[in-house]
Chains A and B, each alone.
Chain A
Protein backbone atom coordinates (compact mmCIF):
# COMPACT_ATOMS: atom_id res chain seq x y z
CA UNK A 1 0.00 0.00 0.00
CA UNK A 2 1.49 3.35 -0.92
CA UNK A 3 1.72 6.55 1.14
CA UNK A 4 -1.34 8.13 -0.40
CA UNK A 5 -3.54 5.34 0.82
CA UNK A 6 -2.12 5.73 4.34
CA UNK A 7 -3.51 9.25 4.09
CA UNK A 8 -6.92 7.78 3.31
CA UNK A 9 -6.58 5.34 6.19
CA UNK A 10 -5.94 8.24 8.59
CA UNK A 11 -8.76 10.28 7.06
CA UNK A 12 -11.37 7.53 7.33
CA UNK A 13 -10.43 6.36 10.83
CA UNK A 14 -10.26 9.89 12.27
CA UNK A 15 -13.50 10.80 10.49
CA UNK A 16 -15.23 7.67 11.74
CA UNK A 17 -14.05 8.38 15.30
CA UNK A 18 -15.33 11.98 15.19
CA UNK A 19 -18.67 11.00 13.65
CA UNK A 20 -19.15 7.96 15.89
CA UNK A 21 -18.44 10.03 19.01
CA UNK A 22 -20.90 12.70 17.87
CA UNK A 23 -23.72 10.22 17.26
CA UNK A 24 -23.21 8.22 20.47
CA UNK A 25 -22.73 11.42 22.45
CA UNK A 26 -26.17 12.71 21.48
CA UNK A 27 -27.80 9.41 22.44
CA UNK A 28 -25.99 9.37 25.80
CA UNK A 29 -26.95 13.03 26.39
CA UNK A 30 -30.60 12.18 25.82
CA UNK A 31 -30.36 9.55 28.57
CA UNK A 32 -28.37 11.67 31.00
CA UNK A 33 -30.62 14.69 30.47
CA UNK A 34 -33.47 12.75 32.10
CA UNK A 35 -31.47 12.71 35.33
CA UNK A 36 -31.63 16.51 35.30
CA UNK A 37 -29.02 18.97 36.56
CA UNK A 38 -25.85 19.61 34.63
CA UNK A 39 -24.73 15.97 34.58
CA UNK A 40 -25.17 15.65 30.79
CA UNK A 41 -23.09 18.77 30.12
CA UNK A 42 -20.37 17.79 32.60
CA UNK A 43 -19.90 14.34 31.08
CA UNK A 44 -20.43 14.89 27.36
CA UNK A 45 -18.79 18.27 26.75
CA UNK A 46 -15.33 16.80 27.11
CA UNK A 47 -15.70 14.29 24.21
CA UNK A 48 -17.65 16.93 22.26
CA UNK A 49 -14.60 19.21 22.32
CA UNK A 50 -12.69 16.43 20.55
CA UNK A 51 -15.04 16.19 17.55
CA UNK A 52 -13.93 19.30 15.67
CA UNK A 53 -10.17 18.80 16.20
CA UNK A 54 -10.53 15.15 15.10
CA UNK A 55 -12.35 16.22 11.94
CA UNK A 56 -9.78 18.94 11.28
CA UNK A 57 -7.03 16.31 11.49
CA UNK A 58 -9.06 13.98 9.26
CA UNK A 59 -9.52 16.60 6.55
CA UNK A 60 -5.87 17.57 6.80
CA UNK A 61 -4.87 13.92 6.31
CA UNK A 62 -7.17 13.62 3.28
CA UNK A 63 -5.26 16.42 1.54
CA UNK A 64 -2.17 14.20 1.48
CA UNK A 65 -4.02 11.92 -0.88
CA UNK A 66 -4.39 14.65 -3.47
CA UNK A 67 -1.92 15.52 -6.20
CA UNK A 68 -3.02 19.15 -6.18
CA UNK A 69 -4.43 19.78 -2.67
CA UNK A 70 -4.69 23.54 -3.21
CA UNK A 71 -7.51 22.86 -5.65
CA UNK A 72 -9.60 21.06 -3.02
CA UNK A 73 -12.37 23.67 -3.23
CA UNK A 74 -13.03 22.37 -6.73
CA UNK A 75 -14.10 18.97 -5.41
CA UNK A 76 -17.74 19.96 -5.30
CA UNK A 77 -19.32 20.45 -8.74
CA UNK A 78 -20.10 16.84 -9.60
CA UNK A 79 -22.35 16.34 -6.58
CA UNK A 80 -25.09 14.98 -8.84
CA UNK A 81 -22.99 11.95 -9.81
CA UNK A 82 -19.90 11.60 -7.64
CA UNK A 83 -20.05 10.23 -4.09
CA UNK A 84 -16.66 11.80 -3.51
CA UNK A 85 -18.21 15.25 -4.04
CA UNK A 86 -21.02 14.34 -1.70
CA UNK A 87 -18.58 13.08 0.94
CA UNK A 88 -16.63 16.34 0.83
CA UNK A 89 -19.75 18.51 1.06
CA UNK A 90 -21.30 16.50 3.90
CA UNK A 91 -17.98 16.39 5.79
CA UNK A 92 -17.71 20.18 5.62
CA UNK A 93 -21.34 20.60 6.73
CA UNK A 94 -20.66 18.23 9.64
CA UNK A 95 -17.61 20.23 10.75
CA UNK A 96 -19.49 23.52 10.56
CA UNK A 97 -22.41 22.22 12.63
CA UNK A 98 -20.09 20.46 15.07
CA UNK A 99 -18.16 23.73 15.55
CA UNK A 100 -21.40 25.64 16.07
CA UNK A 101 -22.74 23.09 18.55
CA UNK A 102 -19.42 22.98 20.41
CA UNK A 103 -19.39 26.76 20.70
CA UNK A 104 -22.99 26.91 21.96
CA UNK A 105 -22.31 24.19 24.54
CA UNK A 106 -19.04 25.74 25.63
CA UNK A 107 -20.38 29.28 26.07
CA UNK A 108 -23.88 28.14 27.08
CA UNK A 109 -25.38 30.27 24.33
CA UNK A 110 -29.00 29.73 23.33
CA UNK A 111 -31.75 27.72 24.98
CA UNK A 112 -31.36 24.09 25.97
CA UNK A 113 -33.82 22.95 23.29
CA UNK A 114 -32.14 24.94 20.53
CA UNK A 115 -28.78 23.47 21.45
CA UNK A 116 -30.23 19.98 21.54
CA UNK A 117 -31.79 20.46 18.11
CA UNK A 118 -28.48 21.60 16.64
CA UNK A 119 -26.77 18.67 18.35
CA UNK A 120 -29.12 16.20 16.68
CA UNK A 121 -28.70 17.84 13.28
CA UNK A 122 -24.94 17.47 13.78
CA UNK A 123 -25.37 13.80 14.70
CA UNK A 124 -27.47 13.19 11.58
CA UNK A 125 -24.83 14.89 9.43
CA UNK A 126 -22.23 12.65 11.10
CA UNK A 127 -24.24 9.58 10.10
CA UNK A 128 -24.70 10.88 6.54
CA UNK A 129 -20.97 11.58 6.37
CA UNK A 130 -20.04 8.01 7.27
CA UNK A 131 -22.63 6.65 4.84
CA UNK A 132 -21.19 8.81 2.04
CA UNK A 133 -17.68 7.74 3.05
CA UNK A 134 -18.69 4.12 2.46
CA UNK A 135 -20.56 4.88 -0.76
CA UNK A 136 -17.39 6.43 -2.24
CA UNK A 137 -16.07 2.90 -2.59
CA UNK A 138 -19.15 1.52 -4.33
CA UNK A 139 -17.48 1.53 -7.75
CA UNK A 140 -18.81 -0.94 -10.32
CA UNK A 141 -15.27 -1.95 -11.35
CA UNK A 142 -14.05 -2.68 -7.78
CA UNK A 143 -15.80 -5.92 -6.78
CA UNK A 144 -14.15 -6.18 -3.35
CA UNK A 145 -15.56 -2.75 -2.48
CA UNK A 146 -18.77 -2.72 -4.44
CA UNK A 147 -20.92 -4.56 -1.89
CA UNK A 148 -23.44 -3.53 0.74
CA UNK A 149 -20.83 -4.65 3.31
CA UNK A 150 -18.83 -1.47 2.61
CA UNK A 151 -21.30 1.19 3.84
CA UNK A 152 -22.57 -1.18 6.57
CA UNK A 153 -19.12 -1.84 8.03
CA UNK A 154 -18.13 1.83 7.79
CA UNK A 155 -21.18 2.76 9.87
CA UNK A 156 -20.89 -0.17 12.30
CA UNK A 157 -17.17 0.51 12.80
CA UNK A 158 -17.83 4.15 13.43
CA UNK A 159 -20.53 3.45 16.04
CA UNK A 160 -18.30 0.86 17.69
CA UNK A 161 -15.40 3.29 18.08
CA UNK A 162 -17.90 5.95 19.16
CA UNK A 163 -19.48 3.74 21.84
CA UNK A 164 -16.18 2.68 23.40
CA UNK A 165 -14.74 6.19 22.97
CA UNK A 166 -17.73 7.55 24.86
CA UNK A 167 -17.23 4.91 27.57
CA UNK A 168 -13.62 6.04 27.91
CA UNK A 169 -14.76 9.66 28.20
CA UNK A 170 -17.28 8.73 30.92
CA UNK A 171 -14.79 6.90 33.12
CA UNK A 172 -12.51 9.91 32.78
CA UNK A 173 -15.22 11.98 34.48
CA UNK A 174 -15.91 9.41 37.17
CA UNK A 175 -13.90 11.13 39.91
CA UNK A 176 -16.00 14.30 39.81
CA UNK A 177 -19.33 12.52 40.24
CA UNK A 178 -21.71 12.94 43.19
CA UNK A 179 -22.72 9.79 45.07
CA UNK A 180 -26.18 9.77 43.48
CA UNK A 181 -24.83 10.18 39.98
CA UNK A 182 -22.49 7.21 39.92
CA UNK A 183 -25.22 4.57 39.34
CA UNK A 184 -26.67 6.61 36.45
CA UNK A 185 -23.28 6.82 34.75
CA UNK A 186 -22.65 3.14 35.38
CA UNK A 187 -25.97 2.37 33.67
CA UNK A 188 -24.80 4.33 30.65
CA UNK A 189 -21.51 2.43 30.69
CA UNK A 190 -23.47 -0.82 30.64
CA UNK A 191 -25.53 0.42 27.70
CA UNK A 192 -22.39 1.36 25.79
CA UNK A 193 -20.84 -2.05 26.54
CA UNK A 194 -23.95 -3.82 25.21
CA UNK A 195 -24.00 -1.61 22.12
CA UNK A 196 -20.33 -2.51 21.46
CA UNK A 197 -21.10 -6.22 21.80
CA UNK A 198 -24.13 -5.98 19.46
CA UNK A 199 -22.10 -4.03 16.87
CA UNK A 200 -19.34 -6.63 17.11
CA UNK A 201 -22.00 -9.29 16.50
CA UNK A 202 -23.11 -7.48 13.32
CA UNK A 203 -19.48 -7.33 12.13
CA UNK A 204 -19.09 -11.04 12.76
CA UNK A 205 -22.25 -11.79 10.75
CA UNK A 206 -21.39 -9.48 7.85
CA UNK A 207 -17.76 -10.60 7.54
CA UNK A 208 -18.28 -14.30 6.70
CA UNK A 209 -21.12 -13.40 4.32
CA UNK A 210 -18.80 -10.92 2.64
CA UNK A 211 -15.95 -13.42 2.30
CA UNK A 212 -18.34 -16.07 0.94
CA UNK A 213 -19.66 -13.53 -1.58
CA UNK A 214 -16.13 -12.73 -2.78
CA UNK A 215 -15.42 -16.45 -3.16
CA UNK A 216 -18.42 -16.92 -5.47
CA UNK A 217 -17.59 -13.94 -7.69
CA UNK A 218 -14.34 -15.13 -9.23
CA UNK A 219 -12.02 -12.78 -11.14
CA UNK A 220 -10.90 -9.64 -9.36
CA UNK A 221 -13.08 -10.42 -6.30
CA UNK A 222 -11.37 -13.76 -5.85
CA UNK A 223 -7.96 -12.12 -6.25
CA UNK A 224 -8.89 -9.76 -3.40
CA UNK A 225 -10.08 -12.63 -1.23
CA UNK A 226 -6.86 -14.58 -1.83
CA UNK A 227 -4.81 -11.56 -0.81
CA UNK A 228 -6.93 -10.94 2.31
CA UNK A 229 -6.49 -14.45 3.63
CA UNK A 230 -3.11 -15.08 1.98
CA UNK A 231 -0.54 -12.29 2.04
CA UNK A 232 -2.48 -10.29 4.65
CA UNK A 233 -3.92 -13.32 6.44
CA UNK A 234 -2.03 -12.58 9.64
CA UNK A 235 -3.23 -8.95 9.76
CA UNK A 236 -6.72 -10.23 9.01
CA UNK A 237 -6.54 -12.65 11.95
CA UNK A 238 -5.04 -10.01 14.27
CA UNK A 239 -7.81 -7.64 13.32
CA UNK A 240 -10.51 -10.15 14.22
CA UNK A 241 -8.74 -10.99 17.47
CA UNK A 242 -8.28 -7.34 18.44
CA UNK A 243 -11.90 -6.57 17.69
CA UNK A 244 -13.10 -9.62 19.56
CA UNK A 245 -11.04 -8.89 22.67
CA UNK A 246 -11.80 -5.15 22.64
CA UNK A 247 -15.46 -5.01 21.71
CA UNK A 248 -16.32 -8.48 23.01
CA UNK A 249 -14.34 -9.67 26.02
CA UNK A 250 -13.37 -6.29 27.53
CA UNK A 251 -16.82 -4.84 26.82
CA UNK A 252 -18.38 -7.80 28.63
CA UNK A 253 -16.14 -7.21 31.67
CA UNK A 254 -16.99 -3.53 31.48
CA UNK A 255 -20.67 -4.45 31.63
CA UNK A 256 -20.16 -6.70 34.66
CA UNK A 257 -17.93 -4.34 36.60
CA UNK A 258 -20.24 -1.37 36.00
CA UNK A 259 -22.86 -3.26 38.03
CA UNK A 260 -20.64 -3.27 41.13
CA UNK A 261 -19.94 -0.20 43.24
CA UNK A 262 -16.47 1.33 43.74
CA UNK A 263 -14.79 -0.27 40.74
CA UNK A 264 -13.71 3.04 39.17
CA UNK A 265 -10.12 2.00 38.59
CA UNK A 266 -11.09 -1.30 36.93
CA UNK A 267 -13.73 0.40 34.80
CA UNK A 268 -11.22 2.98 33.62
CA UNK A 269 -8.67 0.34 32.61
CA UNK A 270 -11.33 -1.69 30.81
CA UNK A 271 -12.86 1.25 28.95
CA UNK A 272 -9.53 2.70 27.82
CA UNK A 273 -8.18 -0.61 26.57
CA UNK A 274 -11.46 -1.60 24.88
CA UNK A 275 -11.49 1.74 23.04
CA UNK A 276 -7.84 1.42 22.02
CA UNK A 277 -8.35 -2.12 20.73
CA UNK A 278 -11.48 -1.17 18.76
CA UNK A 279 -9.58 1.69 17.15
CA UNK A 280 -6.59 -0.50 16.28
CA UNK A 281 -8.88 -3.24 14.97
CA UNK A 282 -10.75 -0.83 12.73
CA UNK A 283 -7.48 0.63 11.44
CA UNK A 284 -6.16 -2.85 10.60
CA UNK A 285 -9.42 -3.61 8.81
CA UNK A 286 -9.08 -0.42 6.78
CA UNK A 287 -5.48 -1.27 5.95
CA UNK A 288 -6.65 -4.57 4.48
CA UNK A 289 -9.48 -2.75 2.69
CA UNK A 290 -7.04 -0.48 0.83
CA UNK A 291 -4.33 -3.09 0.36
CA UNK A 292 -6.41 -5.84 -1.22
CA UNK A 293 -8.74 -4.20 -3.73
CA UNK A 294 -8.42 -5.26 -7.33
CA UNK A 295 -10.07 -3.45 -10.20
CA UNK A 296 -11.80 -5.31 -13.01
CA UNK A 297 -10.00 -5.07 -16.33
CA UNK A 298 -6.50 -3.88 -17.19
Chain B
Protein backbone atom coordinates (compact mmCIF):
# COMPACT_ATOMS: atom_id res chain seq x y z
CA UNK B 1 0.00 0.00 0.00
CA UNK B 2 1.24 3.42 -0.91
CA UNK B 3 2.09 5.81 1.87
CA UNK B 4 -0.56 8.13 3.33
CA UNK B 5 -0.09 11.59 1.80
CA UNK B 6 -0.30 14.72 3.94
CA UNK B 7 -0.23 18.52 3.92
CA UNK B 8 2.16 20.60 6.00
CA UNK B 9 1.67 24.25 6.99
CA UNK B 10 4.15 26.44 8.85
CA UNK B 11 2.01 28.76 10.97
CA UNK B 12 5.05 30.89 11.75
CA UNK B 13 5.63 31.70 8.10
CA UNK B 14 1.96 32.08 7.15
CA UNK B 15 0.82 35.68 6.80
CA UNK B 16 -2.82 34.80 6.15
CA UNK B 17 -2.64 36.13 2.57
CA UNK B 18 -5.02 33.41 1.28
CA UNK B 19 -3.01 32.78 -1.89
CA UNK B 20 -3.44 29.02 -1.26
CA UNK B 21 -7.21 29.44 -1.01
CA UNK B 22 -7.36 31.38 -4.26
CA UNK B 23 -5.00 28.99 -6.07
CA UNK B 24 -7.25 26.10 -5.04
CA UNK B 25 -10.44 27.88 -6.09
CA UNK B 26 -8.92 28.83 -9.42
CA UNK B 27 -7.43 25.47 -10.27
CA UNK B 28 -10.49 23.46 -9.24
CA UNK B 29 -12.84 26.02 -10.83
CA UNK B 30 -14.99 26.29 -7.71
CA UNK B 31 -18.25 28.28 -7.77
CA UNK B 32 -19.07 31.12 -5.39
CA UNK B 33 -19.40 29.85 -1.82
CA UNK B 34 -17.31 26.72 -2.26
CA UNK B 35 -13.78 26.89 -0.90
CA UNK B 36 -11.96 23.62 -0.50
CA UNK B 37 -9.09 25.39 1.22
CA UNK B 38 -9.81 28.13 3.72
CA UNK B 39 -7.55 30.32 5.82
CA UNK B 40 -8.88 30.88 9.33
CA UNK B 41 -7.77 33.89 11.33
CA UNK B 42 -7.70 33.16 15.04
CA UNK B 43 -7.17 35.71 17.75
CA UNK B 44 -7.48 36.17 21.48
CA UNK B 45 -5.94 37.75 24.55
CA UNK B 46 -6.81 41.08 26.12
CA UNK B 47 -5.77 44.66 26.75
CA UNK B 48 -5.09 45.89 30.27
CA UNK B 49 -5.80 49.29 31.74
CA UNK B 50 -2.56 50.78 33.06
CA UNK B 51 -3.02 54.22 34.60
CA UNK B 52 -5.78 55.05 32.13
CA UNK B 53 -3.86 53.70 29.14
CA UNK B 54 -4.90 50.54 27.33
CA UNK B 55 -1.85 48.32 26.93
CA UNK B 56 -1.98 45.11 24.89
CA UNK B 57 -0.79 42.40 27.25
CA UNK B 58 -1.63 39.00 25.86
CA UNK B 59 -3.17 39.85 22.49
CA UNK B 60 -2.34 37.37 19.76
CA UNK B 61 -3.45 36.43 16.28
CA UNK B 62 -2.37 33.88 13.74
CA UNK B 63 -3.71 32.20 10.61
CA UNK B 64 -4.41 28.53 10.00
CA UNK B 65 -4.73 27.30 6.43
CA UNK B 66 -6.99 24.27 6.38
CA UNK B 67 -8.55 21.93 3.82
CA UNK B 68 -9.60 18.31 3.80
CA UNK B 69 -7.18 16.50 6.10
CA UNK B 70 -7.50 13.19 4.22
CA UNK B 71 -7.94 11.66 7.65
CA UNK B 72 -6.88 8.20 8.71
CA UNK B 73 -10.36 7.82 10.22
CA UNK B 74 -12.54 9.78 7.77
CA UNK B 75 -15.84 10.32 9.58
CA UNK B 76 -17.37 11.57 6.30
CA UNK B 77 -16.76 8.17 4.73
CA UNK B 78 -18.40 6.32 7.62
CA UNK B 79 -21.62 8.35 7.56
CA UNK B 80 -22.06 8.58 3.76
CA UNK B 81 -25.09 6.41 2.92
CA UNK B 82 -24.09 5.82 -0.70
CA UNK B 83 -20.44 4.87 -0.18
CA UNK B 84 -19.62 7.73 -2.57
CA UNK B 85 -16.67 8.66 -0.37
CA UNK B 86 -13.61 6.48 -0.63
CA UNK B 87 -9.98 6.55 0.41
CA UNK B 88 -7.28 5.82 -2.15
CA UNK B 89 -4.30 3.64 -1.37
CA UNK B 90 -2.22 6.77 -0.88
CA UNK B 91 -4.79 8.09 1.63
CA UNK B 92 -6.48 10.71 -0.57
CA UNK B 93 -10.18 10.86 0.39
CA UNK B 94 -12.43 11.39 -2.64
CA UNK B 95 -16.12 11.97 -3.33
CA UNK B 96 -17.49 10.23 -6.39
CA UNK B 97 -19.90 12.80 -7.83
CA UNK B 98 -21.81 10.15 -9.79
CA UNK B 99 -22.74 8.31 -6.62
CA UNK B 100 -23.41 11.29 -4.34
CA UNK B 101 -27.08 12.09 -3.66
CA UNK B 102 -26.31 15.44 -2.04
CA UNK B 103 -27.77 14.58 1.37
CA UNK B 104 -25.07 16.66 3.13
CA UNK B 105 -24.68 14.10 5.90
CA UNK B 106 -20.88 14.30 5.45
CA UNK B 107 -20.94 18.05 6.00
CA UNK B 108 -22.77 17.52 9.31
CA UNK B 109 -20.05 15.12 10.39
CA UNK B 110 -16.71 16.51 9.16
CA UNK B 111 -15.16 18.72 11.87
CA UNK B 112 -13.00 20.51 9.28
CA UNK B 113 -15.91 21.65 7.08
CA UNK B 114 -14.21 19.93 4.15
CA UNK B 115 -17.17 18.50 2.19
CA UNK B 116 -19.12 21.40 0.70
CA UNK B 117 -22.25 21.40 -1.41
CA UNK B 118 -21.85 22.57 -5.00
CA UNK B 119 -25.10 24.28 -6.06
CA UNK B 120 -24.22 23.88 -9.74
CA UNK B 121 -23.55 20.16 -9.61
CA UNK B 122 -26.05 19.37 -6.80
CA UNK B 123 -23.55 17.10 -5.09
CA UNK B 124 -20.98 17.38 -2.33
CA UNK B 125 -17.44 18.27 -3.32
CA UNK B 126 -14.18 18.53 -1.45
CA UNK B 127 -10.40 18.86 -1.75
CA UNK B 128 -9.02 15.99 -3.81
CA UNK B 129 -5.41 16.94 -3.04
CA UNK B 130 -5.11 17.75 -6.78
CA UNK B 131 -4.95 14.00 -7.37
CA UNK B 132 -4.28 14.39 -11.09
CA UNK B 133 -1.20 16.52 -10.35
CA UNK B 134 -0.12 14.13 -7.60
CA UNK B 135 -0.45 11.21 -10.01
CA UNK B 136 1.90 13.05 -12.39
CA UNK B 137 4.43 13.48 -9.57
CA UNK B 138 3.60 17.17 -9.07
CA UNK B 139 2.42 18.95 -5.93
CA UNK B 140 -1.04 20.36 -5.12
CA UNK B 141 -1.84 23.89 -6.33
CA UNK B 142 -2.13 25.36 -2.83
CA UNK B 143 1.33 24.12 -1.82
CA UNK B 144 2.91 25.48 -5.00
CA UNK B 145 1.19 28.85 -4.73
CA UNK B 146 2.36 29.87 -1.26
CA UNK B 147 4.55 32.97 -1.62
CA UNK B 148 6.12 32.34 1.80
CA UNK B 149 6.89 28.70 1.07
CA UNK B 150 4.97 27.93 4.24
CA UNK B 151 3.41 24.77 2.83
CA UNK B 152 4.71 21.35 1.96
CA UNK B 153 3.25 18.08 0.85
CA UNK B 154 4.37 14.44 0.85
CA UNK B 155 4.04 11.09 2.59
CA UNK B 156 2.88 11.63 6.18
CA UNK B 157 5.82 9.81 7.78
CA UNK B 158 8.34 11.87 5.82
CA UNK B 159 6.49 15.09 6.65
CA UNK B 160 6.51 14.10 10.33
CA UNK B 161 10.22 13.29 10.19
CA UNK B 162 10.94 16.73 8.73
CA UNK B 163 8.53 18.87 10.70
CA UNK B 164 7.27 17.00 13.81
CA UNK B 165 3.81 15.72 14.62
CA UNK B 166 1.84 18.77 15.81
CA UNK B 167 -1.65 18.67 14.26
CA UNK B 168 -3.56 20.54 16.88
CA UNK B 169 -3.62 24.32 16.42
CA UNK B 170 -6.80 26.10 17.57
CA UNK B 171 -9.32 26.64 15.97
CA UNK B 172 -8.93 23.13 14.57
CA UNK B 173 -10.74 20.34 16.46
CA UNK B 174 -9.07 17.68 18.57
CA UNK B 175 -7.13 15.48 16.09
CA UNK B 176 -8.16 12.37 18.05
CA UNK B 177 -11.61 12.53 16.41
CA UNK B 178 -10.55 11.70 12.85
CA UNK B 179 -6.73 11.40 12.96
CA UNK B 180 -6.02 13.99 10.25
CA UNK B 181 -3.07 13.43 7.90
CA UNK B 182 -1.58 16.87 8.51
CA UNK B 183 1.31 18.56 10.30
CA UNK B 184 1.44 22.17 11.45
CA UNK B 185 4.48 24.00 12.71
CA UNK B 186 3.29 26.15 15.62
CA UNK B 187 4.73 29.55 16.41
CA UNK B 188 5.24 30.89 19.93
CA UNK B 189 1.65 32.04 20.27
CA UNK B 190 -0.14 29.07 18.70
CA UNK B 191 -2.73 27.59 21.05
CA UNK B 192 -3.79 23.96 20.97
CA UNK B 193 -7.38 22.91 20.25
CA UNK B 194 -7.90 22.28 23.96
CA UNK B 195 -6.34 25.46 25.32
CA UNK B 196 -7.73 27.77 22.66
CA UNK B 197 -9.34 30.74 24.43
CA UNK B 198 -9.61 32.90 21.33
CA UNK B 199 -12.09 33.15 18.52
CA UNK B 200 -12.32 33.23 14.75
CA UNK B 201 -12.03 36.67 13.22
CA UNK B 202 -13.27 38.23 10.00
CA UNK B 203 -16.08 35.69 9.76
CA UNK B 204 -17.43 37.39 6.63
CA UNK B 205 -14.36 36.11 4.79
CA UNK B 206 -15.11 32.50 5.69
Q: Do A and B come from one complex?
A: yes
Partner-B contacts on A (CB < 8 A)? 4, 65-69, 71-72, 74-78, 81-85, 88, 136, 139-142, 293, 295-298
* Residue in chain A with minimal CB distance to B193: A297
* Residue in chain B with minimal CB distance to A293: B108
What's the Cα separation between A295 and B75 when bound, in Å?
Answer: 13
Q: How far is the CB of A9 from chain B (nearest CB, A)?
A: 15
- Does chain A have a CB within 8 A of B80? yes
* Chain B residues in 8 Å Cβ range of A78: 78, 80-83
* Residue in chain B with minimal CB distance to A88: B81
Q: How far is the CB of A144 from chain B (nearest CB, A)?
A: 12
Of B75, B105, B171, most A-chain CB atoms within 10 Å: B105
- Does chain A have a CB within 8 A of B19? no
Across the interface, B101 reaches (CB within 8 A) one of A69, A81, A83, A298, namely A69
Instruction: Tell me whether A67 and B110 are in contact in the complex, defined as CB-CB below 8 angstroms, given that A77-B83, A81-B78 are known contacts.
Output: no
* Chain B residues in 8 Å Cβ range of A84: 79, 81, 103, 105
- Does chain A have a CB within 8 A of B22? no
- Asked whether, in the complex, the Cβ of A74 is within 8 Å of the Cβ of B99, the reply is yes
* Chain A residues in 8 Å Cβ range of B75: 139-141
Q: List 15 A-B contacts (CB under 8 A).
A: A67-B117, A68-B122, A82-B80, A83-B79, A84-B103, A85-B82, A136-B105, A139-B75, A139-B79, A141-B109, A141-B111, A141-B173, A296-B174, A296-B177, A297-B172
- Does chain A have a CB within 8 A of B184? no
- Asked whether, in the complex, the Cβ of B173 is within 8 Å of the Cβ of A298, the reply is yes
Interface SS of B by simple majority: loop
- How many residue pairs between the two chains, A and B, have CB atoms under 8 Å in the bound complex? 104
Chain B 104-123, CB within 8 Å of chain A: the 1/0 string? 11001111110001000111
Partner-A contacts on B (CB < 8 A)? 38, 40, 66, 75, 77-84, 99-105, 108-113, 117, 121-124, 171-174, 177
Instruction: Tell me whether A85 and B101 are in contact in the complex, defined as CB-CB below 8 angstroms, given that A67-B123, A141-B173, A298-B113 are known contacts.
Output: no
What's the Cα separation between A88 and B81 when bound, in Å?
Answer: 9
- Asked whether, in the complex, the Cβ of B101 is within 8 Å of the Cβ of A72, the reply is yes
* Chain A residues in 8 Å Cβ range of B84: 74
* Residue in chain B with minimal CB distance to A65: B103
- Asked whether, in the complex, the Cβ of A85 is within 8 Å of the Cβ of B122, the reply is no
What's the Cα separation between A141 and B112 when bound, in Å?
Answer: 10
- Asked whether, in the complex, the Cβ of A4 is within 8 Å of the Cβ of B104, the reply is yes
- Asked whether, in the complex, the Cβ of B110 is within 8 Å of the Cβ of A141, the reply is yes
* Chain A residues in 8 Å Cβ range of B102: 66-68
Q: How far is the CB of B175 from chain A (nearest CB, A)?
A: 10
What's the Cα separation between A295 and B105 when bound, in Å?
Answer: 12
- Asked whether, in the complex, the Cβ of B82 is within 8 Å of the Cβ of A75, the reply is yes
* Chain B residues in 8 Å Cβ range of A141: 75, 108-111, 173, 177
What's the Cα separation between A141 and B81 when bound, in Å?
Answer: 17
Across the interface, A142 reaches (CB within 8 A) one of B78, B108, B174, namely B108
Q: How far is the CB of B191 from chain A (nearest CB, A)?
A: 14
- Asked whether, in the complex, the Cβ of A295 is within 8 Å of the Cβ of B123, the reply is no
* Chain B residues in 8 Å Cβ range of A298: 38, 40, 66, 111-113, 171-173
* Residue in chain B with minimal CB distance to A76: B81
Of A4, A66, A68, most B-chain CB atoms within 10 Å: A68
* Residue in chain B with minimal CB distance to A74: B82
Across the interface, B113 reaches (CB within 8 A) one of A82, A136, A297, namely A297
Q: How far is the CB of B171 from chain A (nearest CB, A)?
A: 6
- Asked whether, in the complex, the Cβ of B81 is within 8 Å of the Cβ of A82, the reply is yes
- Asked whether, in the complex, the Cβ of A71 is within 8 Å of the Cβ of B82, the reply is yes
* Chain B residues in 8 Å Cβ range of A74: 82, 84, 99, 101
